[in-house]
Structure 1
């Protein structure tokens, strides 16, 4: 069975930076988008947290969180099936994906529950 050329194995060293890279791209996208939206068309402060802007940021946060949790589960499953160096790399990658998911959840929760642009 041939593997897709762009698919990384769970024990590949690039998995160690993938979760943190996804987190950093999410962070820059969310805060950059929030800053631009607040500069161009800020929602009324009377709306509170229930704005379209917070809804969009919440969906992006949930999608990123889901991706990171899926990657963590995939790497953890691969770690259970592997041995030696591959097991260590996959387990470490799973931990880093979980760490990145925790970062998304920790930053994303106040982001979507507080009124934007204050």
Structure 2
């Protein structure tokens, strides 16, 4: 790839609800990212190859690369570096805590944009019909 092609950029403009932009700005700040970097990263993460497993659940493709260093290999190494030797159960616990935090943030975001709600009657989260 030529140097001029590598640095070639195009502008993308979109409009989102104010609340969504506020959430994106806060999340980008938490990650130490610019808003542009955050949006680029989230779009790329959303474009990863997804397939259905035998049970019909959505599973991400085998590509584990992540420009922010959040791939599983990096998380395992960081957990072992900071904690020393860990058993299987301890390693699962250290890695699953991050997932629970991300899931909670995702659910909060989906509720804030009125895409889902918690329904005691239905026994959990449910989508909101438009």
TM-score interval w.r.t. the shorter chain? 0.3 to 0.5
Q: Per residue, is there more helix in 1 or in 2? A: 1
| Greater Rg by CA | 2
For CA contacts below 8 A with separation 6 or more, give which structure has more relative contact order. 1
TM-score normalised by L of structure 2 = 0.31
TM-score scaled by length of structure 1: 0.33
Higher share in strand: 2
